A and B are shown apart, each in its own frame.
Chain A
Amino acid sequence: MQNTIFGIEEFEKRAEPYKVIRNDIVRNVDVCVIGSGAAGAILAQKLSAAGKSVVLLERGGYYDGESMNQRESDMISLLWKNSGANFTSNLKIAIAQGSCLGGSTVINDAVCFRIPDTVIRQWNALGVHISKEEWDDANDEVSDRINVAKVTEEELNENAKKLREACSVTLVDGNPIIAHHTNERNCGPSWTDPELQSCVQCGFCHLGCHYDTKQSMLVTYIHDAVHSDVDFTAYCNCEVKKITHSNGIATGVEGSFVDNAGNEKYRIQVNAKVIIVSAGAIASSNLLQKSRIANKNIGEGLALHPAPFVMGHFQEKVYGNRGIPMSYTCHEFGVTNNVKTGGFLIESIFLPIFQLALAVPSFGVDHARLMAEYNNYALAGIMVRDEPVGRIIKTFGDNPQVLYELARDTLDDMARGMSILARMWFDIGADYVITSHGDIPEIRTVQDIPKLAKAIQNNPDGLRVGSAHPQGGNKIGEDPAKAVVNSDCRMFGFKNLYVCDASVFPTALGVNPQLTVMALAALTANKIVANWPSDVIISDSLGSVCDVSQPQYCLTATLGEMFAVTKHKEELFGKLENSQSNEIVPDENWRFDKDKLMIHNNLYWKGFYGRDTNIMTTGLRMFGGFFKRFRKLNSDSFSGVTKPFDVPVFAKSLAKQKTLAGYGTIIHLQYEDAPYNQAYDVLKMIDENTILGKAFLGQFGRGQLLFDFSMSRKYHADFMGEDDLTTLFYSDQYSHTPTKDEMVGRWEGSLVSDSIVSPRSQVFDFEYSGNEEYQMQYNFANLLRGYSEVSVNNDLFRFDDYTPFHDELRMIRDDFVVGKWVTDWSLLPASQFSIQELQNLVNSGASQSQIINSIYRIFNLRVPRLPQEIGLSFLNVENNPQKGSRIGLSYILKRMN
């Protein structure tokens, strides 16, 4: 069997079978693996080889060797996470990670170290119950497939030889350096070019291997899985947004296919028995945080292996770019030489010219002068085994923010390592040395070396440091109170959710991590098979992907496509009718399913447009919301009315079943009164609660298509309107006044209008502060932040800010709340304003900005302007028997943690 790699990029030719995605996808499989790097690829392949159907989701694209053209300007953007623009929040450390099919293994230097014995013992004590024998077996297994072999003497380039020479002549504190040797690497025969049996030594490892000799995950495990007999699919350009779960079972994965600008094109829902997060350090923690997984350790304990460098300038040409960039290492000061805490490796490395230009910390003429000597440098890095002091937090925009400050000990290691290396270059004849500290980019004599250590101590910010090995954030441990996953990489509190990648390392490894990540993945795959959760039932959720049964989630184009090939169900025509009442009557014409958060509303058919984000459709969605209501007229027709929510229009219509050439039987909706009688709709009933429609202008059967739409009597609470919210809000059956404790946590809010539920507009934090004082903090669209005072009394959960408005909340579920930001007219100077005045203003056709300006003026609001999208259609006017007339905004809150 030949499996397929899917993506959204349209390519001329790919080495593996490749297809372009043109629609949303739902997959039900045994295993869903998120991330195709060192861990994800091995887990996917091994589980597939064990007979499980596997879907592998990868954020980056599929680029084959032929498309890796050795140009930094092309390849960094395509293969590196965030096009290489990836930093700690303080911008002090650049973090390199891969984001493409094969993950960081596609852009790494192919150096392979086994997990050091010291680390095995340290991790054992921290709850990683993997014995040395188990590590050895797994390392053997993986090394065999990726062809790990020692770099030969012929393969050592001049840059590496310089480091070797330096190691053999330099004395440190009077002692020779003993522990230094050539590296092992994963290179081997190219599957695409039979003439190539091993590394071509081009030096472009960071830009992917054009020759397919680097045995990255792309050309080994993923290649194997694609050409296996078991159902395996890799989806590229697919960013997983969320893992859904309930009661300790991970049920599904929601992802978006995104283009290069990061815009969503299509969606995917994968329902699986086992879900594995292998998105790499930082991204894995971010995904868990986004997925509302309550474990406060997620994101804690990030280590980076921060690495400054020192270059020696030589009279003779070194041509460091020619040949294998990383083939020699000095282990003397590192964990591989039994250094128990901290320590560092001195690793030979060379960089293509743009990356080197980024690393050299000078500017202008100086920079140009230093770069002109590119061919005369020998370069090595100091890779420090840092303490896991970093944290990953989620931003308002759901992105990961990396908080990391270099610890004192780490800086000391850097200072020592850089000083030793500077000395080493001088010892073998360098005429000057370049450092990665901005205050002292050049050292001209051995006597000046101590200045470097001083500069690091006095101004650590001046160091230009890179990291290619983020680790931790979801650490393994025994105690759920202190760790995120157990020794099997299974998430605490879950039966079928695993996290397996560099993020589970409980401390920095101290050596380049890829082989250890791979070995851990191999071990974990075996454990997953051994503990297969046979009793977990694969969910049948469609999530938020487009389907004919939930057209609210479809793109406009897809609505049209579905319309073309889906038959109208004639037998359902009789059920077109809506409730006789003009008001929501709970349990009669309106029901709510708390478990599924589904609203059944037969007051009318609520209209929906495509989910497209272009201006036209967004405008329709935001302000063009409508409903249609039908009443039976006689045996073969219904009288109808179409009502746009935000405009005082009631367009009368007549609905009849007819046959239309090319369409078969359809419902023809003819508008009766001018000017609407120029238009007609063609409707197809898909099921009792779903209609697909097309609106035309002109003569029936020959009209001009205006737009595609859908209508439903059953929709998720994410599509609720103001009536739905108000019904939930005032119903004791569906909601209650929450207690302070119930609200503790972080909530994301979306504004509700009749037309649309907005994207995230606010974040609320409810918590008890240190002195047990209850606090509520709001962040409105990242523009307005502050604290509100919460009071819970008289069956009212209320909080007040400094405007004449206040908030009231009602809880539907422990993770779902409805709220209103309202004002009591009684609290306002009576003379100034009334509902009537507002209504007059609205009805006079005043522009949105006029109305909003008036509201600001009338209410004397001195708060910053609300964002644009919170326009008129979100303004909620409520006439409530208990509370009187109120004006404000309505919103829903979803628990984030």
Chain B
Amino acid sequence: MSKLFVATYAVKGKVQDGSKLYVELLDNDQHWFDDRIDDLLGSAWTDNSGFFEISFDDSLYKDNWFEGKPELFLVIRDNLGKIIHKTGIQSPSSPDDTENITFDIAIPDNRSLADNNPYDSANTSRIAAFARIGDTINFTENIPNSTRLLMQTLNAWLLYTNETKWNLIGYDGPQVERYPWRHTHSHKLKWNNL
């Protein structure tokens, strides 16, 4: 390719994070964030202040005549290579604007875990537990006993973890909300106010 047609771009930026990070520059190429396609244009480690600079020439992304200007995004990895962040897309304002592509990246401190709670996985634990005991018990040693135990457990589980049943019996039940940390709640017991 003649020099006339090759433009070299420089992408600069700063990652606001204390540690040394690895920055990969990718071309979007119609495959939004699909990192199975090898569209890596360049990579660099951040310096001690979080700065990095990556340059590339447009021969790398111009594999189709209609690809006008690059659609760039960054993948930020920690020192083990774990992806800790992907940025949004930026493009040069015009094909000639090869110097002013700057990313200022603040890595979100905590991924949004607002919907996570430990109880979601409790059911998985239970199923796995029942699968596991198969290896440690002799269910067939006393089939009537074993079956009775199983039926009683199911019966207890279905009926007595159920709030309607509690109300019928007059069982006080839990003294806090199911997701206590999501509500300001009192540490007083309901029956002390009766």
Instruction: Determine if B116 and A11 form an interchain contact, defined as CB atoms under 8 angstroms apart.
Output: yes
Residue of A nearest to B139 (CB): A91
B25 contact set on A, CB distance < 8 A = 662
Residue interface mask A363-402, B partner, CB < 8 A = 1? 1000110011011000000000000000000011101111
Instruction: Determine if B171 and A396 form an interchain contact, defined as CB atoms under 8 angstroms apart.
Output: no
Instruction: Determine if A661 and B191 form an interchain contact, defined as CB atoms under 8 angstroms apart.
Output: no
Question: How many residue pairs, one in A and one in B, have C-beta atoms under 8 Å apart?
Answer: 234
Please tell me if B152 contacts chain A, counting CB pairs below 8 Å.
yes
Q: Which of A69, A86, A375, A661 contacts B40 (CB 8 A)?
A: A661
Instruction: Determine if B126 and A77 form an interchain contact, defined as CB atoms under 8 angstroms apart.
Output: yes
Instruction: Determine if B155 and A397 form an interchain contact, defined as CB atoms under 8 angstroms apart.
Output: no
Instruction: Determine if A371 and B118 form an interchain contact, defined as CB atoms under 8 angstroms apart.
Output: no
Q: Which residues of A (457-500) have their CB < 8 Å from a CB of B?
A: 461
Instruction: Determine if A262 and B128 form an interchain contact, defined as CB atoms under 8 angstroms apart.
Output: yes
A561 contact set on B, CB distance < 8 A = 77, 80-83
Q: Which residues of A (2-46) have their CB < 8 Å from a CB of B?
A: 9-13, 22-23
Instruction: Determine if A354 and B160 form an interchain contact, defined as CB atoms under 8 angstroms apart.
Output: yes
Q: Which of A23, A367, A375 contacts B155 (CB 8 A)?
A: A367
Residue interface mask B101-125, A partner, CB < 8 A = 1? 0000000000101101111011111
| Contact A353 to B122, CB < 8 A, known contacts A400-B136, A663-B40 | no
Instruction: Determine if B153 and A260 form an interchain contact, defined as CB atoms under 8 angstroms apart.
Output: no
Q: Give the docked Cα–Cα distance between A107 and B145 (Å).
A: 28
Please tell me if B176 contacts chain A, counting CB pairs below 8 Å.
yes
Main secondary structure of the interface of A (DSSP, over half): loop
Residue interface mask B40-67, A partner, CB < 8 A = 1? 1111000000000000100010010000
Instruction: Determine if A354 and B37 form an interchain contact, defined as CB atoms under 8 angstroms apart.
Output: no
Q: Give the docked Cα–Cα distance between A375 and B117 (Å).
A: 32
Residue of B nearest to A207 (CB): B174
Q: Give the docked Cα–Cα distance between A888 and B135 (Å).
A: 30
Instruction: Determine if A73 and B135 form an interchain contact, defined as CB atoms under 8 angstroms apart.
Output: no
Please tell me if A61 contacts chain B, counting CB pairs below 8 Å.
yes
Instruction: Determine if A10 and B113 form an interchain contact, defined as CB atoms under 8 angstroms apart.
Output: yes
Please tell me if B148 contacts chain A, counting CB pairs below 8 Å.
yes
Tell me how far the C-beta of A488 lies from the nearest C-beta in chain B, rounded to whole angstroms. 32
Tell me how far the C-beta of A398 lies from the nearest C-beta in chain B, rounded to whole angstroms. 9
B135 contact set on A, CB distance < 8 A = 395-397, 399, 401
Q: Give the docked Cα–Cα distance between A94 and B168 (Å).
A: 28
Please tell me if B32 contacts chain A, counting CB pairs below 8 Å.
no
Residue interface mask B171-188, A partner, CB < 8 A = 1? 110111111110000010
Tell me how far the C-beta of B112 lies from the nearest C-beta in chain A, rounded to whole angstroms. 9
Tell me how far the C-beta of A308 lies from the nearest C-beta in chain B, rounded to whole angstroms. 15
Q: Which of A12, A86, A374, A701 contacts B38 (CB 8 A)?
A: A701
Instruction: Determine if B125 and A73 form an interchain contact, defined as CB atoms under 8 angstroms apart.
Output: no
Tell me how far the C-beta of A2 lies from the nearest C-beta in chain B, rounded to whole angstroms. 16
Please tell me if A357 contacts chain B, counting CB pairs below 8 Å.
yes
Please tell me if B1 contacts chain A, counting CB pairs below 8 Å.
no
| Contact A321 to B41, CB < 8 A, known contacts A461-B142, A565-B22 | no
| Contact A354 to B156, CB < 8 A, known contacts A90-B141, A702-B38 | yes
| Contact A662 to B181, CB < 8 A, known contacts A91-B145, A261-B128 | no
B39 contact set on A, CB distance < 8 A = 702
Which residue, B63, B83, B118, B137, has most C-beta atoms of chain A within 10 A? Answer: B118
Q: Which of A260, A400, A562 contacts B81 (CB 8 A)?
A: A562
Tell me how far the C-beta of A99 lies from the nearest C-beta in chain B, rounded to whole angstroms. 10
Instruction: Determine if B56 and A85 form an interchain contact, defined as CB atoms under 8 angstroms apart.
Output: no
Tell me how far the C-beta of A156 lies from the nearest C-beta in chain B, rounded to whole angstroms. 15
Please tell me if B129 contacts chain A, counting CB pairs below 8 Å.
yes
Q: Give the docked Cα–Cα distance between A211 and B175 (Å).
A: 11
Q: Which of B117, B126, B160, B191 contacts A353 (CB 8 A)?
A: B160
Residue interface mask A315-337, B partner, CB < 8 A = 1? 00001011000000000000000
Q: Give the docked Cα–Cα distance between A663 and B174 (Å).
A: 57
B169 contact set on A, CB distance < 8 A = 353, 371-372, 374-375
Residue of B nearest to A82 (CB): B129
Q: Give the docked Cα–Cα distance between A701 and B56 (Å).
A: 14
Please tell me if A705 contacts chain B, counting CB pairs below 8 Å.
yes
Q: Give the docked Cα–Cα distance between A69 and B166 (Å).
A: 16
Q: Which of A89, A259, A321, A375 contacts B121 (CB 8 A)?
A: A259
Residue of B nearest to A90 (CB): B141
Count of B residues near A, CB < 8 Å?
A: 78
Q: Which residues of A (557-574) have their CB < 8 Å from a CB of B?
A: 558, 560-566
Instruction: Determine if A353 and B171 form an interchain contact, defined as CB atoms under 8 angstroms apart.
Output: yes
Q: Give the docked Cα–Cα distance between A553 and B181 (Å).
A: 39
Instruction: Determine if B136 and A13 form an interchain contact, defined as CB atoms under 8 angstroms apart.
Output: no
Q: Which of A63, A78, A200, A401 contacts B189 (CB 8 A)?
A: A200
A67 contact set on B, CB distance < 8 A = 117-118, 180-181
Q: Give the docked Cα–Cα distance between A579 and B154 (Å).
A: 64
Instruction: Determine if A89 and B136 form an interchain contact, defined as CB atoms under 8 angstroms apart.
Output: yes
Tell me how far the C-beta of A461 lies from the nearest C-beta in chain B, rounded to whole angstroms. 6
Instruction: Determine if B178 and A705 form an interchain contact, defined as CB atoms under 8 angstroms apart.
Output: no
| Contact A9 to B121, CB < 8 A, known contacts A322-B172, A565-B81, A662-B42 | yes
Q: Which of A10, A74, A91, A261 contacts B127 (CB 8 A)?
A: A261
A861 contact set on B, CB distance < 8 A = none
Q: Give the docked Cα–Cα distance between A13 and B79 (Å).
A: 26
B123 contact set on A, CB distance < 8 A = 77
B125 contact set on A, CB distance < 8 A = 77-78, 83, 260-261
Instruction: Determine if B175 and A70 form an interchain contact, defined as CB atoms under 8 angstroms apart.
Output: yes
Instruction: Determine if B156 and A71 form an interchain contact, defined as CB atoms under 8 angstroms apart.
Output: no
Q: Give the docked Cα–Cα distance between A400 and B81 (Å).
A: 39
Tell me how far the C-beta of A283 lies from the nearest C-beta in chain B, rounded to whole angstroms. 12
Please tell me if B7 contacts chain A, counting CB pairs below 8 Å.
no
Q: Give the docked Cα–Cα distance between A844 and B133 (Å).
A: 45
Q: Give the docked Cα–Cα distance between A397 and B136 (Å).
A: 9
Please tell me if B36 contacts chain A, counting CB pairs below 8 Å.
yes
Please tell me if A773 contacts chain B, counting CB pairs below 8 Å.
no
Q: Give the docked Cα–Cα distance between A78 and B119 (Å).
A: 8
Instruction: Determine if B176 and A13 form an interchain contact, defined as CB atoms under 8 angstroms apart.
Output: no
Q: Give the docked Cα–Cα distance between A843 and B159 (Å).
A: 60
Residue of B nearest to A262 (CB): B128
| Contact A73 to B171, CB < 8 A, known contacts A12-B117, A561-B80, A663-B40 | no
Please tell me if B132 contacts chain A, counting CB pairs below 8 Å.
yes
Please tell me if B18 contacts chain A, counting CB pairs below 8 Å.
no
Q: Which residues of A (707-751) have their CB < 8 Å from a CB of B?
A: none
Which residue, A11, A662, A701, has most C-beta atoms of chain B within 10 A? Answer: A662
Instruction: Determine if A662 and B40 form an interchain contact, defined as CB atoms under 8 angstroms apart.
Output: yes
Tell me how far the C-beta of A453 lies from the nearest C-beta in chain B, rounded to whole angstroms. 21
Please tell me if B149 contacts chain A, counting CB pairs below 8 Å.
yes
Residue of A nearest to B79 (CB): A565
| Contact A210 to B132, CB < 8 A, known contacts A260-B125, A565-B80 | no
Please tell me if B5 contacts chain A, counting CB pairs below 8 Å.
no
Please tell me if A195 contacts chain B, counting CB pairs below 8 Å.
yes
Q: Which of B24, B133, B141, B157 contacts A82 (CB 8 A)?
A: B133
Instruction: Determine if B43 and A663 form an interchain contact, defined as CB atoms under 8 angstroms apart.
Output: yes
Instruction: Determine if A9 and B118 form an interchain contact, defined as CB atoms under 8 angstroms apart.
Output: yes
Residue of B nearest to A286 (CB): B136
Residue of B nearest to A210 (CB): B176
Please tell me if B2 contacts chain A, counting CB pairs below 8 Å.
no
Excluding A66-B180, A662-B25, 12 further A-B contacts by CB distance (< 8 Å) are A10-B113, A12-B116, A63-B118, A69-B176, A85-B130, A90-B141, A262-B128, A367-B152, A367-B155, A661-B40, A703-B38, A705-B36
**A-B pairs, 5 with minimum CB distance:** A561-B81, A662-B40, A70-B174, A83-B129, A357-B156
| A-B residue pairs in contact (CB < 8 Å), sample of 25 | A9-B121, A10-B111, A13-B181, A69-B178, A70-B175, A71-B178, A73-B122, A73-B161, A78-B125, A82-B129, A83-B125, A85-B126, A88-B137, A91-B149, A193-B187, A260-B125, A261-B125, A322-B172, A322-B189, A401-B136, A402-B136, A561-B83, A565-B81, A661-B41, A702-B38
A interface residue numbers (CB < 8 A to B): 9-13, 22-23, 61, 63, 66-67, 69-74, 77-78, 82-92, 193, 195-196, 200-202, 204, 210-211, 259-262, 319, 321-322, 353-354, 356-358, 361, 363, 367-368, 371-372, 374-375, 395-397, 399-402, 438, 461, 558, 560-566, 661-664, 696, 699, 701-705
